[in-house]
Amino acid sequence: MNTHQSSSRAAIEGLEPKGLWEYFYHLEQIPRESGNEEGVRRWLVEFAKKQRLEHFVDGTGNVIIRKPATPGYEGRSSVALQGHMDMVCVKKPGSTHNFLTDPVFLVRDGDWIRAKDTSLGADNGIAVAMIMDVFTDSEAVHGPLEAIFTVSEETGLDGAFGLDESLIRSRKLINLDSEEEGVFYIGCAGGNEIRGVNDAPATTEIPSSYTSWKLEIDGLKGGHSGAEINLQRGNAIKLAARILSAVLKSNIPLLISSYEGGYKRNVIPSTATVVFSIPKERSDELKVMVSRTESILMAENAVEEPELEVRLSATEPLQGTALSAKISASLVKALHVAPHGVDTFSKTIPGIVETSSNLAIITASPCGIEVVSSHRSSVESARDDVAERMMTSLGEIAGLETHVEGAYPSWTPNPSSPLAEFCRKAYAHYAGAEPVVTAIHAGLECGIINSKIPGMDSVSFGPDMEGVHSTAERLSISSVSRTAEFLRYLLKTIE
């Protein structure tokens, strides 16, 4: 074990349940960005072989493992425990971490486990570790169990869509992909993705009389576009567009050489960089407009985004081509008016977001323009309406060719769910407090799995996590312990 691994492993020393944290540590040594789950898959298969457990790998790459009931509990209903193998991979600017080869470096910070300079991957690595721990705990008492480990959840719920339902015996599903202890989810939003593309945008030569600038938006919290969209965090792509929109209103010609922001469809963009050129004699006006708009944005975002940074710096005059003035202006306008954030709140479940958008990714240069946005709603027609507005913005204003991708169904809440009611009573008895039973705006695999397997009854819960899908992601140690013990209690009592 090298020094890096020793330091990382020290973060879990002495934590209970010991087996759970050992599995979590070993999982964190395996690169597992969405689409790169082969290492985790091999590890899970080897685990099943070592434990002499029946196991399968379906055609999509999901791993299903079965564990027999504790003697005397063979007559109980089979229960499936489910989580996904992949993680959202994010790193701080300047980090040399390579997610294709490098392990995640664990750090203990009081009651929290986090990663050094990267996302942690507790979403959903903690589910994998909890399930493996239950499957190897000789003292755990339960009926027949199945583990369902899916692939590429973060990039399109591919594993759930491709799950071979013929391999699943259970009709009770406990999804462990939630992030608030004592909260049971019985529904989630559906969603889709809009992609706008222009492979051959109009370009122009940058005049020698122009000067070049770089606008950077940094310091935003980012976060999960479903679970944290209600917090009204800043979107770096939108903030940059707002500043440049103010510049355009001053009739300053703008030629964009590059516009980069965001990296994952389900992550609120925390950084954006725009490189552009303007007539040299308008430089002082540019600085005034940027400074004025910066002050406005700082005031508007002071509560939720106190670390927001807006940087404008002169660069060496660019040569060659840039996006034409017309394309540059139309792109800025489209991004400025494009929907982002909460669209509507639920009229049936107080405090829950019904419909939202995340203007997630932009890559623009003279070589081409691509914009990606994601949309969520528990109401399919509302999801499609906000997606149509995004398509109008990107298509009619920016001239991009737009299309819909990756649509997935909502999980309609069922207040009469027998499993939900059993979990509620079990938690109240175990914890001495009533849990919250509600729906979540983020997408969960339960909706897809339920649609594929008739009669499946699902509930989702998990330990406390914060900042998922960002470098601020952290996992509560004490909450993991309590949630793991409750899971054992639930499996012992469920019929």
CATH number, domain at 63? 3.40.630.10
* Helix H or strand E segment including 244: helix 236-249
Say whether both 448 and 466 belong to one domain.
yes
The C-alpha atoms of residue 400 and residue 394 are separated, in whole angstroms, by 6
The C-alpha atoms of residue 382 and residue 376 are separated, in whole angstroms, by 9
Question: Going by DSSP bridges, is the β-strand pair 272-279/106-109 parallel, antiparallel, or unpaired?
Answer: unpaired
Average of per-residue pLDDT values in the chain? 95
Query: Among 198, 251, 194, which Cα is nearest to 383's?
Result: 194
pTM of the complete model: 0.80
Query: Among 104, 97, 139, which Cα is nearest to 9's?
Result: 104
Mind listing the pLDDT tens digit for each residue in 105-126?
999 999 999 999 999 999 999 9
Q: Where are the beta strands (DSSP E) in 353-442?
A: 353-365, 368-377, 401-408, 436-440
- Give percent above pLDDT 70 in the chain: 99
Mean pLDDT of 182-201: 95
Structure tokens at 182: 């004592």
- Total number of domains constituting the chain: 2
Last residue of a domain, one of 408, 424, 458: 408
Structure tokens at 469: 């899908």
Mind listing the pLDDT tens digit for each residue in 85-105?
999 999 998 999 999 999 999
Please spell the DSSP secondary structure of 291-350, one letter per residue: HHHHHHHHHHTTTT-TT-EEEEEEEPPP-SEEE-HHHHHHHHHHHHHS--EEEEE-SSST
- DSSP 8-state code for residue 369: E
- Give percent above pLDDT 90 in the chain: 89
Say whether both 90 and 58 belong to one domain.
yes
The C-alpha atoms of residue 340 and residue 123 are separated, in whole angstroms, by 24
The C-alpha atoms of residue 384 and residue 78 are separated, in whole angstroms, by 37
Mind listing the pLDDT tens digit for each residue in 26-38?
999 999 999 999 9
Task: Specify whether 86 is catalytic.
Answer: yes
Mean pLDDT of 146-150: 98
Say whether both 199 and 257 belong to one domain.
yes
Say whether both 363 and 426 belong to one domain.
no
Say whether both 370 and 427 belong to one domain.
no
Task: Specify whether 153 is catalytic.
Answer: yes
> Which residue is associated with the tokens 């049971």?
184
Residue 223 maps to which CATH number? 3.30.70.360
Q: How confident is the model at residue 81 (pLDDT cuts 50, 70, 90)?
A: very high
> Which residue is associated with the tokens 């391999």?
167
Q: What is the pLDDT of residue 412?
A: 84
Query: Among 292, 209, 208, 219, which Cα is nearest to 249's?
Result: 292
Please spell the DSSP secondary structure of 39-101, one letter per residue: HHHHHHHHHHHHTT-EEEE-TTS-EEEEEPPPTT-TTSPPEEEEEES-B---B-TT----TTT
| Length of the chain as a residue count | 495
Neighbours of 27 (CB within 10 A): 23
Q: Which domain holds residue 304?
A: 192-408
Contact 147, 80 (CB under 8 A): yes
Last residue of a domain, one of 385, 408, 431: 408
pLDDT at 423 over 80: yes
What is the dihedral sign for C-alpha 392, 396, 402, 403?
Answer: positive
Say whether both 185 and 206 belong to one domain.
no
86, 158, 216, 473: the catalytic one is 86
Say whether both 297 and 365 belong to one domain.
yes
Q: What is the pLDDT of residue 2?
A: 59
Say whether both 45 and 154 belong to one domain.
yes
Say whether both 402 and 417 belong to one domain.
no
Say whether both 397 and 472 belong to one domain.
no
Last residue of a domain, one of 353, 375, 408: 408
Mind listing the pLDDT tens digit for each residue in 324-349?
999 999 999 999 999 999 999 988 77
58, 146, 153, 228: the catalytic one is 153
Say whether both 331 and 281 belong to one domain.
yes
Structure tokens at 62: 């999901």
Q: What is the pLDDT of residue 350?
A: 81
Say whether both 392 and 287 belong to one domain.
yes
